[in-house]
Amino acid sequence: MRRITTIAFDADDTLWHNENLFEEHHRKYCQLLSEYHDAQTVETTLFRTEMRNLELYGYGVKSFTLSSIETAIKLTDGAIPAEELRRIIDFGKDMLAHPVEVFEGVPEVLQTLSQDYQLILITKGDLRDQERKIAKSGLSQHFEHLEVVSEKNIEDYARLFRKRHIDPAEILMVGNSLKSDILPILELGGSGVHIPYHLTWEHERIEDPPHTHNRFHELKSIAQLPALLISLNS
């Protein structure tokens, strides 16, 4: 294995909480539509709408809110009152205005690692919202590069690394999503550290984690990352 010189971090649910906000939206949304359909029907229909709209809207709260409105209209055959649509819009606004809650220990770990490694942040989603969260997190000073991308796949990662003149074999990617953060990096010849979050969006779930891959590692907490790097580069 090549010596690791660059550590790439995912942002949402790796450095700060994010999916819990969507989980709360789902709860309130299902409650709002409970007089029309059961929660399972609402959830299933909403997910299908999100997947259908992904190519048009991309990821993030705004995309989610538009799909929520479309789903509500569909499930009520257009009968949903304007006041209830306004409440769905307010759910989205509340998510966008929510404070950024950085995980415990993250600033200290980034400060420690930045002394010996090049740190980059790679996050996908709505540009304005991601920039807002990065700014409010107070973590930007630890990173040499901040990248907001519309998708995380092999082609996008490869293009980004070429632009930054980074050898994928010298990269360690840290993230909570096996599908978006880890598997593409392993495919490119890099290493991956999976730090699971207690909630995972259905679109990001995979059936076969790469536990037998020699460049794959799983940690319970980001606090364990410095020790892992010492062992990998020793």
CB contact at 8 A, 208 and 182? no
How far are the Cα atoms of 19, 59, 63, 203, 212 from residue 54, in angstroms, in the given order? 17, 7, 8, 11, 32
What single DSSP character describes residue 16? B
Encode pLDDT of 114-141 as tens digits: 999 999 999 999 999 999 999 999 999 9
Which domains, and CATH codes, for the chain?
6-16+101-232 (3.40.50.1000), 19-97 (1.10.150.240)
CA 50/CA 45 separation, integer angstroms? 9
CB contact at 8 A, 204 and 179? yes
Encode pLDDT of 19-42 as tens digits: 999 999 999 999 999 999 999 999
Q: What is the pTM of this model?
A: 0.93
